[in-house]
């Protein structure tokens, strides 16, 4: 939301004319020097080379700072190079000397907006709107005022809590092979694929506490319980919590946070995990944006006999997203890499991972959306003597399809039928399995 470069170039040309009437310029020679300087900067601004213009002007600030013509050109260059605080300081001086210079006031309002000083920006935009500007300018001002209202709403603390209820069928609740024997030995029934119905319940809460327009603290937590009537030995309890700091840095949206989790099987503590997470997102051209995510943290087991499984996990992803597709569609694609560093010397559970995932969502009806999510991950294990003498190589494929119905079965509720399929292919038959799940879930949030 900004005037065209050529419209603002015209303002710079007009600003040169201010020089002649300014007592701040002590001599005619000074005025001539400033006019020459602005003539040199003008083509840089016209060509979109704001960085070069800023470099030229910043070297002469000691000579001409406080001169409205110079301050205005300097303010524009600072604004276009992501220095809104410097721009606001220069443009304040312009408006103080030339209160009727509406172009400078418009850019001052933009500088306040870009620096997060929303109330000062609102004051300037509302003043300009009261000056009966041209239609195009008034529409631009109105868009800024709407954006300010939206961002002011965003700086209020927000708390959202909700619960989920679900039920369905799981063909392989314990994620195990369907073979009953391995290397000639009969497997324990708990290590053979077990089908069961399931019932699931979850509670979740999120709290966002902004610290200004561009920074916010986030706290979240979730507890989930799944019951498997035909496989109680894998009744699972999950508790997780996270705290983070999110910030807008110029054109970037960034966050840093830590999370932790605990799980139990059949009521007995099983494992704990944690991670440090970093994320950065930047808008690309048009409706595209790119994100980078990195996480690192430990996975530990309560039972000392399972210490062979303990690892420190590093995962990173590069993702692109595209919105504005037909039927309000949205597409994403991510490349994923990382691995597990085994904690115990001689453990074969260290591995390197590489994979990809893609998803597509679209509006399927007046109050419903559909989504398909598919992906694959390759894991190459190494360490110790391997798995039964083999260097294990797994490729896991998965697919999820769901529909999301708003205000169903009643206002404020969401109904979600979901299908999920997982296939783990491996050169060690004990770890090969297929699993599919069909479920119906209800969601309800409270604010």
Asked if 266 and 235 touch (Cβ cutoff 8 Å), the reply is yes
Residue range 237-277, pLDDT digits in tens: 999 999 999 998 877 889 999 999 999 999 999 999 999 99
The answer to whether the 5-154 and 158-446 domains have the same CATH topology is no
pTM of the model: 0.68
Specify the pLDDT at position 215. Answer: 87
Q: What mean pLDDT do residues 289-308 have?
A: 95
- Which residues have CB under 8 Å from 377's CB, separation 6+? 336, 353, 354, 355, 395, 396
- How long is the chain? 447
Where along the chain do its domains lie?
5-154, 158-446
Predicted local distance difference test score (pLDDT) of residue 30: 56
CB atoms within 10 A of CB 40: 12
- In this predicted structure, the answer to whether residue 306 has a pLDDT above a threshold of 80 is yes
Residue 115 Ramachandran class (φ > 0 left, ψ -120 to 50 alpha, else beta): alpha
Q: Taken in order 311, 316, 322, 323, is the CA torsion positive or negative?
A: positive
The CATH classification number of 5-154 equals 1.25.40.10
First-last CA distance in the chain? 32
Candidates 104, 93, 81, 90; CA nearest to 15 is 104
What is the per-residue pLDDT across 152-169, written as a single tens digit (0 to 9) for each? 666 678 899 999 999 999
CA dist 332 to 55, 256, 323, 375, Å?
39, 22, 9, 12
- The fold adopted by the segment(s) 158-446 is Porin (2.40.160)
In this predicted model, what pLDDT tens digit does every residue of 369-410 receive, in sequence order?
A: 999 999 999 999 998 889 998 999 999 999 999 999 988 998
- When mean pLDDT is compared across 208-212, 216-220, 265-269, 316-320, the lowest value belongs to 208-212
Average the pLDDT over 85-107 and give the result. Answer: 88
Can you give the pLDDT at residue 1?
Answer: 56
């Amino acid at each position: 939301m900004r005037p065209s470069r050529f419209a603002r170039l015209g303002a710079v040309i007009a600003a040169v004319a201010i020089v002649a009437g300014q007592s701040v310029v002590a001599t005619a020679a000074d005025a001539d020097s400033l006019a020459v300087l602005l003539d040199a900067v003008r083509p840089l601004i016209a060509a979109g080379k704001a960085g070069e213009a800023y470099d030229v002007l910043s070297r002469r600030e000691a000579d001409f700072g406080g001169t409205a013509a110079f301050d205005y050109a300097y303010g524009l260059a600072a604004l276009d190079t992501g220095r809104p605080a410097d721009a606001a300081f220069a443009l304040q001086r312009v408006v103080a000397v030339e209160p009727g210079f509406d172009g400078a006031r418009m850019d001052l309002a933009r500088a306040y907006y870009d620096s997060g000083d929303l109330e000062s920006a609102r004051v300037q935009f509302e003043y300009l709107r009261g000056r009966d500007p041209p239609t195009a300018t008034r529409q631009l001002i109105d868009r800024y005022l709407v954006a300010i209202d939206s961002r002011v709403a965003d700086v209020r603390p927000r708390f959202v809590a909700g619960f989920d209820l679900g039920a369905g069928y799981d063909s392989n609740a314990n994620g195990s092979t369907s073979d009953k024997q391995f290397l000639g030995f009969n497997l324990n029934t708990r290590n053979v694929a077990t089908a069961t119905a399931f019932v699931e319940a979850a509670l979740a809460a999120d709290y966002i506490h902004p610290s200004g327009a561009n920074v916010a603290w986030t706290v979240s937590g979730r507890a989930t319980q799944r019951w498997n009537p035909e496989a109680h030995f894998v009744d699972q309890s999950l508790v997780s919590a996270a705290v983070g700091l999110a910030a807008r840095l110029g054109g970037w949206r960034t966050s840093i946070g830590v999370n932790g989790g605990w799980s139990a099987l059949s009521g007995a503590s099983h494992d704990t995990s944690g991670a440090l997470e970093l994320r950065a997102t930047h808008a690309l051209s048009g409706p595209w944006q790119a994100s980078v995510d990195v996480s690192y943290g430990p996975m530990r087991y309560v039972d000392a006999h399972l210490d062979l499984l303990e690892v420190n996990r590093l995962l990173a992803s590069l993702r692109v997203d595209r919105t504005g597709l037909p039927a309000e569609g949205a597409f994403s694609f991510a490349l994923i890499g990382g691995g597990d560093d085994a904690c115990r010397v001689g453990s074969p559970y260290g591995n390197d991972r590489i994979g990809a995932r893609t998803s597509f969502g679209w509006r399927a009806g007046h109050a419903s959306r559909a989504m398909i999510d598919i992906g694959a991950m390759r894991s190459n294990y190494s360490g110790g003597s391997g798995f039964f003498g083999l260097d294990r190589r797994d490729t896991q494929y998965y697919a999820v399809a769901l529909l999301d119905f708003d205000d169903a079965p009643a206002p404020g509720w969401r109904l979600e039928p979901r299908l999920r399929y997982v296939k783990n292919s491996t050169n060690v038959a004990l770890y090969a399995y297929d699993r599919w799940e069909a479920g119906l879930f209800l969601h309800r949030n409270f604010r």
